[in-house]
A and B are shown apart, each in its own frame.
Chain A
Amino acid sequence: MDDIKEKIKWFISSCLGVDKNTLFYDTPLDEGEIVLDSIDFIDLIGYIDQEFNVNMSNVASSNFKNIDTIAEYIKNNLDK
């Protein structure tokens, strides 16, 4: 599970410009200093799709609250 979280964290910091020192697994992604928007989520979803082979179409926004919730969704949908 931590491996999934670390990969998501790497992507958000390396490819979406978020300072990794302020990004924790429970840091909200839709408020405060980060506020990922629809353009960020296009790339994030594409990365998850490719890296974990998890279909991300029509995923509820509640799964994108933070890295923890994203990882939980991925874990629950691996190999589906």
Chain B
Amino acid sequence: MTLDKNRCVVTGLGMINAIGNSVDECFNNAINSVSGIKETKSVDTTDCYAKLGAEVTNCTDLDDVKNVGELDRVSKLCLHALKEAMNDANIGYLNNDERVSVIIGSCVGGVVSIEHYYKNNKDKSDIAKMPIGAIANEVARFSGAGGVVTNVGNACAAGTISIGYACDLIRAGKADMVIAGGADAFASVPFSGFLALHALDSNPCSPFNHCSGITLGEGSGILIIESLEHAKKRNAKMYCEVLGYGVSSDAHHITAPREDGEGQMQAINWALEYSGVDASKVGYVNAHGTGTQKNDSAEFLSLHEIFDGKNDDLCVSSTKAMVGHCLGAAGSIEAIFAIKALKEGIMPPTLGFSEEDLDILKEKAGKINFLPNKAVKKELNTVMNNSFAFGGNNASIIFSKESGNVRDHEVKNKVAVTGFGLVTPLGNDLSTYIKNVKENNKVEGLGVSSVGAPDWEVLGLKSSFYRKLDVFCQMEAASGMYALKNAGYTVTDENAFKTGIVVGTSEGALATGCLFEENIAANGTAKGSAFKFPNTVYNAAGGYLSICSGIKGYNVTLANSSQAGLQGVAYSMNIIRNGVADAIIASGSDENIPVTTELYEGLELVDETAVPYANKNGFKLSDGAVSIMLENENAAVSRNAKVYAHLIGYGMAHESVSFSKIKGSEAGLVKAINSALKDANINVSDISAVVGFANGQKEIDNVECTALKEVFKDKLNTLPILNIKDRFGEGRAATASLSLVHASLMLSGDIEKDSAYLIKNNNVEKTNVLSKNLEKVLVITYGSGGSYTAIIVER
């Protein structure tokens, strides 16, 4: 039996897609075999061989929301579903409640605003709407959630991973309630990209049938997930329990799944194992079932391999035949279809089978019922949802009327820091970093890193691999491989599935998406590049790292402003503590190509320097990829790894302000720090230094000063505040992660001393810090919109 403290229940649902504006409307249409696939209205399909899409066309109140001018269509879709879910769960505005978190998956984020930007003379008002990171911030702003706020950027698996992470937070005691789900809007970039790959079907998609391509859709699915205790306390309606989930990585190809289904099967088997549920108990699977030959044949094989001989009564369908492939929203929309099937006892069909097709299906389906054309009634106890994505990411999750036997998530494993991989504007290896600190070298000119032939040679990577990668992906792949090398960690057949990757990023693939859109805005939707499109998804970088390293375990990309670098570390700590992985490469990465600079200049945030507390309007923009090898300490010790430091606590919190702003969100940082102290079971007197995030921009620096004064009070007068941004500039997620590297290297003694700041009542003074005087260091990061992460590092 699942312990009560590990029981997570679904208490509210909200959904919008091409067949409805509410959960009931969508589900009723689905079980009545209504397809929302029509000729697309929002994308110019001139010269395109495919013209179909599953768009939301009958919703008149998408704009009926506060601050509508600040929202991309993806956020409007998400807020529409959110409103329904909050009403359904009977919850109102949450007043920045830090026990309520927001995890939203998306593939292409604010890509409609990217299109608008290029088609409207680079309208600056579009810029803040573009990043995936905006979506969860808007959900937090609307709902008043004040806990962990982030987006999962794992393309088509993002919605499913979001639900899994939500449960991890609840089971780790970090949240009582999580608003989880996904959202994506129909737009020219994904349409053009899938068209270029010849992956779009010219007819409505028919998964597990014709398999001649996908039909893109749009929408959002939102689930309110709570601890059983919290739901009971407020007498909430409960749809079902969320049991276990599995996330794996193919380490194979950036767009195509492994033909043998190895990664898919690993994710499904983990979902079953962590749920404590036998394959024979699953009554219905809402499959990924995209309609492409490669996905459907691999998934077909995976389902047969796992269920044949164990489950002769399995039903499987793909609702994409009705709502299209909603990308980052797909996992959550399909999870809701599965939950409704569980509750209502009727399963939605897979459309598109002719009489002849039905004969062929009978021959190949074996004992699996693929629910062709018509919904089927069945008493269900346990259902599964599968999502597979670009980057070779696989996710599977289980919902049930019963509590299952979910593995206990008691905090057990200590997290050790065992290696670093650095790509920075001041060089790409650890010894160079240490030398730069000793010599106080600073980035001159453009804050741009360089990865080139010498790096690939050292890392043993061939041109046939790295030529495919854009700048962001090259930086991430190189830093991840450097981290493995520095840690002396060899990925083997034995440990590949227990090794993972978590990438945190502010803008991720945004710049590549901009360049892709700029081309098709000028030359037409039919002129998209098949070569460039795979790099427009935020998890491409993590996918490439998996391919070149052979890592096959957890692989997640988080996107929410600069602090995502440390959010990834916190997420990794959770996974290692749980025992789901023994080792994780936690990266913070962001690029600074000319488009990036253009966007930041458009936000009026660029200055020539990044001197903390300089009271400027902007900061020096830079870039980097910083990977930190984190391991279960027992595993690290058993392989005689050098342990630089230990991570003993993390905290994340959010205080909503307008996305792209930070002023007024100090309380979020205070909560994040206090949460980290509580997690580490220490108090402020135990902290011997802080690595801060000030970068010279006055609003950012003021938040840091104000919050630190509130937390540390008089102690702040003598507490050294280290800072790396005066040397490296504002590299966003990269410098967030680099701050943690700096703390670790000072604790390990690899950096013996450094200069620091003392924040006094009315002024800031310089001081020096010696490694030997440090025991526990607090590292803090900020995110526009009011998200904060704090990590405590111990000698």
Q: Which residues of chain A have a CB within 8 Å of any CB of chain B?
A: 15-19, 22, 32-35, 39-40, 42-43, 46
Contacts and interface: CB of A to CB of B under 8 A. Distances in A.
A43 B534 CA distance: 13
Given A15-B529, A15-B531, A42 B197 contact: yes
B531 A16 contact: yes
A19 B467 contact: yes
Contacts of B462: 33
A33 B531 contact: no
Given A33-B462, A42-B196, A42-B197, A18 B467 contact: yes
Contacts of B255: 39
6 contacts: A17-B466, A32-B464, A33-B463, A39-B534, A42-B196, A43-B530
Nearest to A16: B531
A30 to B, nearest CB: 10
Nearest to B529: A43
> What 7 pairs between A and B have smallest CB-CB spacing?
A17-B467, A42-B530, A35-B464, A33-B463, A43-B531, A39-B530, A43-B530
A23 to B, nearest CB: 10
A33 B530 contact: no
Contacts of B530: 39, 42-43, 46
Q: Is the interface of B mostly helix, strand, loop or mixed?
A: loop
B464 A34 contact: yes
B518 to A, nearest CB: 15
Interface in B517-537: 527, 529-531, 534
Interface in B243-291: 255
Interface string B459-477: 0001110111100000000
Interface of B: 196-198, 255, 462-464, 466-469, 527, 529-531, 534
B204 to A, nearest CB: 24
A35 B253 CA distance: 14
Contacts of B196: 42-43, 46
Given A39-B197, A42-B197, A34 B463 contact: yes
B529 A33 contact: no
Q: Which of B198, B462, B463, B469 has the most CB of A within 10 A?
A: B463
Contacts of B466: 17
A18 B462 CA distance: 11
Q: Which of A17, A35, A39, A42 has the most CB of B within 10 A?
A: A39
A40 B196 CA distance: 11
Given A15-B529, A39-B530, A46-B530, 18 more contacts: A15-B531, A16-B531, A17-B466, A17-B467, A18-B463, A22-B463, A32-B464, A33-B463, A34-B463, A34-B464, A35-B464, A39-B255, A39-B531, A40-B531, A42-B196, A42-B198, A42-B531, A46-B527
A32 B469 CA distance: 18
Contacts of A16: 467, 531
B468 A17 contact: yes
Contacts of A22: 463
Nearest to A34: B464
Contacts of A42: 196-198, 530-531
B537 to A, nearest CB: 14
B543 to A, nearest CB: 14
A18 B534 CA distance: 17
A19 B457 CA distance: 14
A41 to B, nearest CB: 9
Nearest to A13: B467
B197 A33 contact: no
B168 to A, nearest CB: 35
A49 B478 CA distance: 35
Contacts of A17: 466-469, 531
A9 to B, nearest CB: 14
A46 B527 CA distance: 8
A34 B462 CA distance: 9
A61 to B, nearest CB: 17
A39 B464 CA distance: 13
A34 B465 CA distance: 8
Nearest to B462: A33
B252 to A, nearest CB: 13
A15 B196 CA distance: 15
Contacts of B469: 17
A8 B198 CA distance: 22
Nearest to A32: B464
Nearest to B196: A42
Contacts of B463: 18-19, 22, 33-34
